[in-house]
Structure 1
């Protein structure tokens, strides 16, 4: 088994969830209607999406279909997002604690791949959405630049600009200065307006 294949994605996934969890917990009810850099989401909808992704990961980890979970969970009380995130995270960590799940193929809405690669992909999604939440609530100073550097490297591989379309999840790359911080570079690469 190669070192690449054998790498356990769960520690870095946990770091991304720690960061996302802090952003979720910091959101106050009066910020729920703030616009986010995600075109279709205000803060409430983005929180619903983040919680949904955790439910999807738990579902595919047990062999279920992620498409059975809506893209945005709603019906959460204004002050209940942190506990909803924590409960969903606990379930994901319970499901993915089994090492055998890392090499089992999982079917996601956008690909079928080994579990370890699914966790890596969602590590980067949580990193990007942490920036989205921090940007919408003006908490940018609280983000880990190492997570952004890893996400930017990964997105450069599996979401190259030349393969994007108007129907895809990423808009064209937005130009930023060469000395932009890592999260600004990541957001711009994903087509957000930093």
Structure 2
């Protein structure tokens, strides 16, 4: 999954007036997971089959940088898809540096009403917050799964992505312009993170 996909642009329900709590929590969790990657895991394949652990770590850092730039009114295309300036193993350190800029932008409540320029068109910051919470959750899960980590998924991280997943990416079609596999069915009583990743074609 990449954050450039149009299908993730329309939450099914009106976001809460301030959904940033989940975004901040998953950004903090990402740092823990990045710090837990071992050198022997860099070339392992993640549940996103085109991404190794190295690729996904570089992409995650790039997404964090991009979210900070977008929140400040900058251009989506000004940040590359992968943060290729980071040496292997330095992802957690790079994340900590980028979090400072992210926090400076997204801690300001004014960002919620700001128009965020995504590739398919501008959305309010309150909507972008939900989109990127979902993006981070899925890719942090990808990394954790590939590296044998079992992080704790705070319910606040998952609430908005779960509420919006059916509209954001319908069950059909999948493939092509919708870069997700078929829905993986999980029990209705399964943990929230399993239900979320299953909807996006991951096998919990």
> 1:80 is matched with which residue?
90
- Write 1 or 2 for the structure with the bigger share of helix: 1
> 1:42 is matched with which residue?
52
> 2:27 is matched with which residue?
17
Shift of 1:79: 2.4
**CA contact 1:124–1:154 (8 Å) conserved in 2:** no
In the alignment, does 2:152 pair up with 1:143?
yes
* SS at structure 1 position matched to 2:166: helix
**Which segment drifts farther, 44-53 or 100-109?**
100-109
CA–CA distance in structure 2, aligned partners of residues 49 and 92 of structure 1:
16
CA RMSD of aligned residues (A): 2.0
Would you say how many aligned residue pairs link Structure 1 and Structure 2?
Answer: 190
**CA contact 2:114–2:124 (8 Å) conserved in 1:** yes
Which runs of 5 or more residues in structure 1 are unaligned? none
CA–CA distance in structure 2, aligned partners of residues 79 and 17 of structure 1:
18
> 1:132 is matched with which residue?
142
Shift of 1:116: 1.6
Shift of 1:156: 1.9
Q: TM-score when scaled to structure 2?
A: 0.84
Shift of 1:75: 3.1
In the alignment, does 2:84 pair up with 1:57?
no
Distance 1:5 1:148, change over 3 A: closer
Q: 1:91 aligns with which of 93, 98, 101?
A: 101
**CA contact 1:31–1:137 (8 Å) conserved in 2:** yes
> 1:100 is matched with which residue?
110
Shift of 1:71: 1.2
> 2:127 is matched with which residue?
117
* SS at structure 1 position matched to 2:33: helix
CA–CA distance in structure 1, aligned partners of residues 21 and 198 of structure 2:
26
Q: TM-score when scaled to structure 1?
A: 0.88
* SS at structure 2 position matched to 1:46: helix
Distance 1:160 1:6, change over 3 A: closer
CA–CA distance in structure 1, aligned partners of residues 128 and 188 of structure 2:
31
